[in-house]
Structure 1
């Protein structure tokens, strides 16, 4: 099968391209820019484009499928040529469904927690040498790719993103997978550039629940009122299976999960991660993993990349980085670190980097998000606001939004770095939350702060 990728360099797209190459497909692609690690990984497989740019001459009737990435625009010259020739054009999620329509599709959805839950499930399967197809949005320890597709595996585990499918398909990705087994972890307004109202955002999850196939199941976090309402109101003929945060204790920086066999030391921590673990356990049991086998495997799970990832530790200090940027994630992550290290000063640094977080109207959603931190710092780049063509965001707006009088705010990367490197981190826990890098912060240098 000959497949061409328009915008092959994206995180999701290049992983799918590699998965198809590994499956024996003929894969080609184009992009106007490709960064690391996509560049090296495509090159290692011999499918890195020779020249960057868009080349309509690459599009010909011999192609069996075109996969269109979100980075491309609706007037992309290769896309226009494919439409002119009447070729089959798939969005990323459409193609994944096409590859898995004869499998049991397990889809993990939610505003937060979906990457971690998907990663937990895959870790358990890998631990017990059970081969499954999958797509996950983070690099996992023990896995060389983020997408795996085979002809033989019965199950496919898919991280169900609610963002749009492609430039010409404005449906959320997770509407296209038609799950047999689904999970919904939480609903907290996000992506306001696409879903301008809270009601419109919640509606996408209602459609997701209704898209589960007849006789399927939804495992859902009953502690989230919106999730509970959406799932229980759905008329879909499916099994509805609630889960909740299991009992646990924290002893001297070690989280112990209560199990039928007694307390189990685990690597992850924080109420939100224990809640994620409960959801993952039920999904694994749907996939024929016994409860005891789940506990044995999950004890060694260290977390998904950039999700409460420990980057440095000494006897008296520790540093974590986390992808958290939406209000609910920021609050859950900050609370988790404070709970894990109650006797240490928690220094929580948040970069407002996404479209939603830099929107003046959305900022009020951050009320209380950093309350658990002893020292709370917010960094944002006025230049990033300009690039996103948003209204100016002021210090006063941010201070008012977080409702914290002692909030420290930086807009200059050097000033933020100077603050960080002037701190004595003895008996402290540093938490760096961002989907960016604070205007060029070298995280390897940060490791040196933890003596």
Structure 2
């Protein structure tokens, strides 16, 4: 097949392009800007566009399909040409469904934990050499790509994102996969630029549960009030399989998971990650992996990229960076690090970076999110607020929202970097949380200083 990608440089899009090239398809693509690591990976595989920009002449009747990325706009010249020619246009999730409609689709959904749970499942399957197709939102150790597609594999494991499918398809991605086996980890309001009310956001998960194929199953976190409510209210003819956080203990900075064979040390930590592990176990068992084999494999799982990723460690200090940015993720991650390192000063730094985090109403959702930290820091750039065309957010608003009077707030990168560089990290656990890059913070230099 000949497929053209409009906005090929996106994290998900370029991985799909690489997967299809590996499958033997002929791939072309365009984008107006491509960042690393997408740029190098496309270049290495001969898929990097010769010029950046949009070129309608790349769109022709010889194409079997066009895949449209979220980075493109509805008036994109290549999209308009494809529509004019009557070509088949897919969003990213639509195309994944087309590739997997004859397979058993396993879809992992939830406001938080879905990347980690999907990663855990894939790690276990890979450990036991069980081949599956997949799409996951993080680069995993031992995997070449974030997307893998074949003709022969029976299962496909999909991370089910609730964000929009494409500029011309406003449905959440996970509404399009029609799972046979599904998981729902948690519901906590997010993406308020798309879902302006909590009720509207929750409705998307109701639709997801109702989209599960009749006779299929939903494995769900019954400790999450909203998840429990949504799943138990669904009249879909599916099996409903609840899970809970398993028993565990933290001893001398190590997390021990209680199993039928006794306590077992694991690499990941925090109540939220132990809950994720429980969900992953049930999905793996639904896919034919027995409990003993699951535990053997999961003991070697070190975490998904950017999810509580250890970036430095010395005898008396440790540093993590985490993709956490929504209130529930910030609270869970901060609590997890304090639980794991109770005798260390916890210095938690959160970069406010997303559209939601700059909304005055949504800011209130952060109440208590940093309470587990001994010292709490907020960093944000007022120009980021301006770029998103939002009203100015003041330090006083932020301090009031978090309900923490000793909150340290930085509004320029240089001051924040200077603060980080001048800290005494003895007996300290540093936690950096953001979906951005902390204003260009030198993480390699930080590692060198902390480990000196």
Structure 1 and Structure 2 fold alike (TM over 0.5): yes
Tell me how far apart the structure 1 counterparts of residues 404 and 183 of structure 2 sit (CA, whole Å): 35
Per the alignment, residue 204 of structure 1 pairs with 204
Tell me how far apart the structure 2 counterparts of residues 347 and 23 of structure 1 sit (CA, whole Å): 46
Per the alignment, residue 115 of structure 1 pairs with 115
**Displacement after TM superposition at 1:267 (Å):** 0.1
Tell me how far apart the structure 2 counterparts of residues 270 and 114 of structure 1 sit (CA, whole Å): 15
Contact 1:18 1:45 in 2 (8 A): yes
Per the alignment, residue 17 of structure 2 pairs with 17
1:261-340 paired onto structure 2 within 5 Å: 261-340=261-340
Runs of 4+ displaced beyond 6 Å: none
Per the alignment, residue 401 of structure 2 pairs with 401
For structure 1, which runs of at least 5 residues remain unmatched after alignment? none
1:148-159 paired onto structure 2 within 5 Å: 148-159=148-159
**Displacement after TM superposition at 1:449 (Å):** 3.0
Tell me how far apart the structure 2 counterparts of residues 389 and 131 of structure 1 sit (CA, whole Å): 46
Query: Does residue 220 of structure 1 match 2:230?
Result: no
Tell me how far apart the structure 1 counterparts of residues 43 and 408 of structure 2 sit (CA, whole Å): 43
1:230-241 paired onto structure 2 within 5 Å: 230-241=230-241
Tell me how far apart the structure 2 counterparts of residues 205 and 7 of structure 1 sit (CA, whole Å): 28
Tell me how far apart the structure 1 counterparts of residues 325 and 341 of structure 2 sit (CA, whole Å): 21
Per the alignment, residue 377 of structure 1 pairs with 377
Question: Partner of 1:357: helix, strand, or coil?
Answer: helix
**Displacement after TM superposition at 1:301 (Å):** 0.2
**Displacement after TM superposition at 1:110 (Å):** 0.1
Tell me how far apart the structure 2 counterparts of residues 357 and 442 of structure 1 sit (CA, whole Å): 24
1:7-156 paired onto structure 2 within 5 Å: 7-156=7-156
Per the alignment, residue 419 of structure 1 pairs with 419
Question: Partner of 1:450: helix, strand, or coil?
Answer: helix
Count of residues paired in the alignment: 451
**Displacement after TM superposition at 1:225 (Å):** 0.3
Q: 1:398-447: per-residue Cα shift (whole Å, max 9, x none)?
A: 00000011100000111111111111100010000001112111211111
Tell me how far apart the structure 2 counterparts of residues 286 and 449 of structure 1 sit (CA, whole Å): 46
Q: 1:99-131: per-residue Cα shift (whole Å, max 9, x none)?
A: 000000000000000000000000001100111
Per the alignment, residue 249 of structure 2 pairs with 249
Per the alignment, residue 356 of structure 1 pairs with 356
Contact 1:325 1:433 in 2 (8 A): yes
**Displacement after TM superposition at 1:448 (Å):** 2.0
Contact 1:425 1:449 in 2 (8 A): no
Tell me how far apart the structure 1 counterparts of residues 129 and 375 of structure 2 sit (CA, whole Å): 44
Tell me how far apart the structure 1 counterparts of residues 163 and 98 of structure 2 sit (CA, whole Å): 19
RMSD of aligned alpha carbons: 0.5
Name the TM-score, length of structure 2 as normaliser. Answer: 0.99
Name the TM-score, length of structure 1 as normaliser. Answer: 1.00
For structure 2, which runs of at least 5 residues remain unmatched after alignment? none
Tell me how far apart the structure 1 counterparts of residues 240 and 71 of structure 2 sit (CA, whole Å): 36
Q: 1:47-94: per-residue Cα shift (whole Å, max 9, x none)?
A: 111111100001000000000000000000000000000000000000
Tell me how far apart the structure 2 counterparts of residues 450 and 206 of structure 1 sit (CA, whole Å): 46
Question: Partner of 2:319: helix, strand, or coil?
Answer: strand
Contact 1:110 1:187 in 2 (8 A): yes
Tell me how far apart the structure 2 counterparts of residues 279 and 159 of structure 1 sit (CA, whole Å): 13
Contact 1:385 1:391 in 2 (8 A): yes
**Displacement after TM superposition at 1:330 (Å):** 0.1
Q: 1:252-298: per-residue Cα shift (whole Å, max 9, x none)?
A: 10000000000000000000000000000000000000100000000
**Displacement after TM superposition at 1:311 (Å):** 0.5
Question: Partner of 1:449: helix, strand, or coil?
Answer: helix
